[in-house]
């Protein structure tokens, strides 16, 4: 997996203070996408074991308390990202008790594959669906267009 940005302290992508990772790779090609540079899977830089460890350490850092981890992109549920995302969410579940995990994807919850659902079974919130320019509403919170749904899963 490749990534574009990692913000160790972020207050705009999900509730509370969070760690946020933007991954590379997205097939949805939504007109008006705010993050076109992330579409290519091989854009950005490699996601390394060191980066994974830094995320775990940041989530457990007691000096700046984080509510959880946000995964966006690009699409964290792009089939080629799923193996690394699954390993990361498994580690967060095991090693970061009490932290929540939010994931943004262009897929719809009811069209996910069993592999993608493995990730979803471990997260707290999935914000799903493509960005639709005609349904764009700046007043919406945590989503760009009104077709997207915030699924509180656990
Ligand atoms: S799903 Fe998100 S990243 Fe992918 S094209 Fe649509 S708006 Fe852009």
Ligand 1 atom nearest to 29, measured from its CA: 5
Domains and CATH numbers, the chain: 2-152 (3.20.20.70)
CA distance linking residue 18 with residue 116, whole number of Å: 23
Q: 107-142: per-residue pLDDT in tens?
A: 999 999 999 999 999 999 999 999 999 999 999 999
Ligand 1 atom nearest to 36, measured from its CA: 8
pLDDT-based confidence at 9, cuts 50/70/90?
very high
pLDDT of residue 63: 97
Q: 12-47: per-residue pLDDT in tens?
A: 999 999 999 999 999 999 999 989 999 999 999 999
pLDDT of residue 139: 96
Contacts of 129 (CB under 8 A, 6+ apart): 106, 107, 108, 145, 147, 148, 149
Residue among 5, 104, 131 to mutate when testing ligand 1 (max atoms within 8 A of CB) = 131
With b for 16 or more beta-carbon neighbours within 10 A and e for fewer, the 22-40 pattern comes to bbbbbeeebeebebeebbe
- Ligand 1 centroid–CA 122 distance in Å is 22
Contacts of 105 (CB under 8 A, 6+ apart): 75, 76, 77, 116, 126, 127, 128
Section 89-99 average pLDDT: 98
* pTM over the 0.85 mark: yes
């Amino acid at each position: 997996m490749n990534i574009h940005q990692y913000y160790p302290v972020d207050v705009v992508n999900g509730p509370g203070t969070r760690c946020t990772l933007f991954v590379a790779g997205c097939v949805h090609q939504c007109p008006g996408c705010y993050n076109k540079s992330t579409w290519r899977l091989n854009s950005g830089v490699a996601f390394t074991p060191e980066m994974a460890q830094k995320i775990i350490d940041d989530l457990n850092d007691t000096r700046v308390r984080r509510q959880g981890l946000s995964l966006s992109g690009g699409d964290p549920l792009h089939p080629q990202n799923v193996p690394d995302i699954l390993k990361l969410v498994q580690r967060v579940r095991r090693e970061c008790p009490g932290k929540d995990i939010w994931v943004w994807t262009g897929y719809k919850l009811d069209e996910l594959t069993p592999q993608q659902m493995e990730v979803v079974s471990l997260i707290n919130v999935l914000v799903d669906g493509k960005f639709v320019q005609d349904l764009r509403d700046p007043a919406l919170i945590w989503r760009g267009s009104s077709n997207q749904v915030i699924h509180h899963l656990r």
